[in-house]
Amino acid sequence: MPVVLHVDVDAYFVQCEALRDPRLLGRPVAVQQHQDIISVSHSARAAGVTKHMPPAQARRLLSKVGGEVVHVFSEAGMRISYRPYREMSAALMRLLKSLPSCAVVEKASIDEAFILCEVQLADSAHPLQQGARLAEDVRAAARSELGLVVSVGVAGNKLLAKLASRVAKPDGVHVVDGQALGKMLAETPVERLPGMGGKVADALRSIGISSIAQLQGISDTQLVAQLALRPATAARLVAWGRGDDEAVVVEQGPSKSMQVQMSLTPVPLPMPPSHSAQGVSAAGGGTVGMLMPLPTAGVEPRARLASLLRVMARDLLSRVLLDRHQENRWPHKLAAGVVTQMPQGPPANSRGSSKGCSFPPPSLIDAPSATSGHGGSDGRGQPRDRARSWDIRRP
């Protein structure tokens, strides 16, 4: 039988920030991006903090227990950058691929991966027991080599392994054998099925189906008739209700394009307290400690646009150089685009323009100077006014 592991880093962004700032280790911590909480430590959850909670509310709850809300990593000028998170993710994937018995590693997201376990037929242990041993090896290696705490689900297919890793949190391993399967399906809500949250989950609940196991009592034709689901979606739901999943673990190649973009706020907004207290100015200029709209007339927009484009170009180049180191390749095309939209208007009111050219050859790139002095502004998650992007495309 195939044995699949799903490796999921517990509170990934919180752990990355704690590794960058040891002062956060062991404390209740939540990570903020724009006006959203994107990652919450286990101890912060115990204090009542949840993902997508308003940062001000999370800050009030954590202040009572000695915790803290920290902002995602930002380059100079408050431009949000996932650079340290991408680098840690790449290190984790390299580590997983280096471990014995990891036949195939499929990156599922920045903080999770599927592993196809290489089952040893000569081993007297059951294949799932072999998978459990590999899971412990993964957890030990992630902690010792990278300082990361991960949870691992072990099962006979990708669906069950992913559901099991959720059960294993925090800092554990959960193996789905015959006895554990029925219990897990009965206790897991339908919205945890991949891609089945939101309207699909609401529709299922409207006909009395709230857990995955309850899908066993309905046919795909009934789902199509009662909920107007596509036949393929209905058939997949029924199969998942039994715990069946035919998806295979496949190693994903590197992306064919790379993009850097930012949205500018249509209204003045204060920076997070941690940044405004330092007297930081946004990379695009404007008032200190504030994120400012970009004027549409006069001389100032040109200077601020030039500043923003330099910041974005440096960010993009740093990613290109990292990708070159990891994948031994170089882009061949560069595109720059701008989209303007009224703050409260529909997307149909937006206008866009783009230009493309050949990407400069490596011989023209001065890596040390090009990768220093990152900066920028993050837009703070407000309605889009203007967005600019650089996009690299590869053969």
Which residues have a catalytic role annotated? 112
Helix and strand element counts for the chain (H, E): 13, 16
Q: DSSP labels for 155-209?
A: ESSHHHHHHHHHHH-SS-EEE--HHHHHHHHHHSBGGGSTT--THHHHHHHHTT-
The pairing of beta strand 150-155 with beta strand 173-175: parallel
140 contacts: CB under 8 Å, gap ≥ 6:
none
Task: Please give the Cα distance from 12 to 199 (Å, whole number).
Answer: 28
- CB of 337 closer than 8 Å to CB of 262: no
Task: Please give the Cα distance from 361 to 125 (Å, whole number).
Answer: 54
Provide long-range contacts, Cβ within 8 A and 24+ apart, for 108-111: 108/6, 110/12, 110/82, 110/85, 110/86, 111/8, 111/9, 111/12
User: What dihedral angle (degrees, nearest 10) is formed by the CA atoms of 14, 15, 17, 19?
Assistant: 160
Give the C-alpha distances (Å, rounded to integers) separating 344 from 61, 349, 378. Answer: 33, 10, 19
Task: Please give the Cα distance from 146 to 144 (Å, whole number).
Answer: 6
Q: How far is CA 326 from the centre of its chain?
A: 20
Task: Please give the Cα distance from 194 to 166 (Å, whole number).
Answer: 13
- For helices 83-98 and 300-327, give the axis angle rounded to 10 degrees: 10
Extended beta strands in the chain, E state? 4-9, 29-33, 36-40, 68-71, 74-75, 79-80, 102-109, 112-117, 150-155, 173-175, 257-264, 269-270, 290-291, 333-340, 351-358, 386-393
